[in-house]
Chains A and B, each alone.
Chain A
Amino acid sequence: MTPSRQPSGNVGRKLKCQMRRLTGAALCCVAMSAQAQTPVFEIEIREHLFYPSELKIPAGQKVKLVIHNRDATPEEFESYELNREKVIIGNTQGVVFIGPLKPGEYPFFGEFNPKTAQGKVIVE
């Protein structure tokens, strides 16, 4: 092993730094790619109501619902038709993955306030 074949200290550090950047960029691309594959839709819970109460999503594709509970009390996003139930503590947010679904209407409701918190996912 000859000294001339070894990178100097500075060159070695630069190589390591570039490798870290490349790795970071690659991971970022993978994350963005994964996110790009799953469309994100947002729903808010305010004063025990869902906004929007009707959410249109594409058929045959998995989607990610981010549900923001703006109330101080917990709420449960529930739907037998979607086969999902998710409790969202007050002033936090929860994630629900649904689909791929066939075209149609899939009702959901808030289990803690079922008379007011109602909505539906419209798949088209």
Chain B
Amino acid sequence: MIRTCGILCAAGGRVSFLLAGLLTGGLVSIPTYADNLLHHNGVGRVYDPYVLPLERELELRTYYQTDDDPFESDILRQRVGFGAAINERVFAELYLIGMKMPGRAMRLQSYELESKIQLTEQGEYAADWGLLVEYERERSESVAEFATTLLVSRQWGNWVGTVNLGVEYEFGSNIRNEFDSFMSAQWRLRYRESLEPGIEIYADEFTRGIGPVLTGLVRGSGNQKWHWEAGIIVPANDTTPDYTYRVLLEYEF
């Protein structure tokens, strides 16, 4: 997802130590002077590193944010996707991404193509590894983004920890070309298939958010499944919205 959901207002440079930051597990963007992004919210989802051959899915994700700043409050984002496994290791998905500002209609904002690659067999090594490659393009502005994310997951008894570490390159004539990095993580209890509580963390150049999440799986007939996630992310800094409510629904068939 494009982290720059609005207009880059202030010109300015930043120093980013991308690889070193990723290796140390930290975020790498160090603003040198004021960056100001409108309607930015780095809350997304935490991806596991697994691909199932023959799987197809329809996905609906909704994000709603509120904030004490009325200009950053009452913003609704939605993304609709269709994905299918290309082979035993690769899953591709195409998204349409919309955004609704207060008092306005929902507007198609961008398109995204993502591909998830399973790198290791589940349980074969101490952790399971995957890679996510994304390309997103704004519909009405010359703004695009290319991102690569490392997906790592490990199970400890009934607990599963998953970390996504990514680097993105934003480019276009309506944006300053730059690298950014981002991270998300989930710590989840495998309580029962239909209900798994957990906690999620999101961080990028502007976002620092943490909050509870509930996930689950409901089986239909045959190989049909409904996967759902719901969470509330609260800020750990001043540039993250006060509350971000997120809901995800996947129909797998």
By a beta-carbon cutoff of 8 Å, the part of chain A in contact with chain B is: 62, 74, 76, 80, 83-87, 89, 95-99, 111-112
Is the CB–CB distance between A87 and B52 below 8 Å? yes
* Chain B residues within 8 Å of chain A by Cβ, number: 16
Is the CB–CB distance between B222 and A95 below 8 Å? no
Is the CB–CB distance between B122 and A111 below 8 Å? no
Given contacts A76-B223, A80-B193, A111-B223, A87 and B123 within 8 Å (CB-CB): no
Closest Cβ of chain A to B233, distance in Å, is 26
Query: Does B190 make an interface contact (CB < 8 A)?
Result: yes
Closest Cβ of chain B to A98, distance in Å, is 6
- Give chain B interface residues in 145-168, CB to chain A under 8 Å: 155, 160
Instruction: Find the B residue at minimum CB distance from A94.
Output: B88
Is the CB–CB distance between B223 and A112 below 8 Å? yes
Query: Does B55 make an interface contact (CB < 8 A)?
Result: yes
Given contacts A76-B223, A83-B190, A96 and B123 within 8 Å (CB-CB): yes
Give the A-B contact count at a CB cut-off of 8 A.
Answer: 38
* Partner among A83, A85, A97 whose Cβ is within 8 Å of the Cβ of B52: A85
Given contacts A83-B155, A85-B52, A97 and B223 within 8 Å (CB-CB): no
Q: What A residues does B190 contact at CB under 8 A? A: 80, 83
Is the CB–CB distance between B121 and A87 below 8 Å? no
Q: How far is A65 from B141 in the complex, measured between Cα atoms in Å?
A: 51
Q: What A residues does B160 contact at CB under 8 A? A: 83
Q: What A residues does B69 contact at CB under 8 A? A: none
Is the CB–CB distance between A87 and B53 below 8 Å? yes
Is the CB–CB distance between B123 and A97 below 8 Å? yes
Is the CB–CB distance between B123 and A89 below 8 Å? no
* Partner among A62, A74, A83 whose Cβ is within 8 Å of the Cβ of B54: A74
Point out which of B55, B121, B160, B192 has the most chain A C-beta atoms below 10 A from its C-beta: B121
